[in-house]
Amino acid sequence: MSQTKKERILELLKNTGVLRPRDLAELGISGGYLARLYDEGVLDRPSRGLYTLAEAEPTEHRTLAEAGKLVPHGIVCLLSALRFYDLTTQAPFEAWLAIGEKARLPKIDYPPLRIVRFSGDALSFGVQEQEIEGVKVRVYSPAKTVADCFKYRNKIGLDVAIESLRDCLRQRKATMNELWDAAKVCRMSKVMRPYLEAVT
C-alpha cells in the first residue's frame, strides 16, 4: 500500500472520526484501502461500510456521528437530541432519528436506530447542523426537541418532556418565544401551554 495513501486516510480519519468507502472515492482512493487497514488492525469497523481509527477514544456521542454518516438524511431527535444538549439524565442506547414520511427506512445493523417519521414543517423546522467527532450531523434545535418530546410523551414519558422543558429554560438553551414557535409547528400549543405558564 502506498504510504501516502495510508497517511491521507489516517489524516482524514483524525479530522472526521468516521469514514465510508465512498468518502475515499471522492479523493480518487479505492475504498479497498479501508478494508486493508482494518485487516492490519489500524482501523475498527463498527458497522458494515463504516471505519474508525482503532486507537481512537470514542466520545459519548460516537453513535450519533456514525448514524449521521450512515443516514445523512436523518435528523437526530427526541432522547438522542436531549442527550446531545445535556437536557436529560437518560442515556438512550439507540440513536433516535427523524426521517421523512416517505423516506426509505435505513437498513443498518449498527448503530441501533430508533426511527420516527415526521412530515412537512414538523420535519424541516429547527434543523441545525452540528459537528460530532468531525462528522456533520443534523440535529433538531433544543426548542424543537422539547416540543417533539411533548408530542411523543406517550412513548418517552411526560416526566421526560417536563424535565426537558425546565432544563432547557434553566440552562438558557432556548427562549420562551422559540419554545412557543416550536410548540405551534408541532401542534402542541394547548398541551404545552400550562407547563410553559408554570415555569414563567
φ, ψ at 180 (rounded to 5°): -65, -45
End-to-end CA distance of the chain: 63
Asked whether residue 3 carries a pLDDT value surpassing 70, the answer given is no
* Domain at 3-53: CATH code: 1.10.10
**Per-residue pLDDT reduced to its tens digit, 165-198:** 999 999 999 999 999 999 999 999 999 999 988 8
Mean pLDDT of the chain: 88
- Cβ-contact 64, 95 below 8 angstroms: yes
**Per-residue pLDDT reduced to its tens digit, 43-73:** 887 777 777 777 766 667 888 988 998 898 9
Ordered by start, the domain boundaries in the chain are 3-53, 62-198
Of 64, 193, 62, 76, residue with least CA distance to 144: 76
φ, ψ at 47 (rounded to 5°): -150, 160
pTM as predicted: 0.77
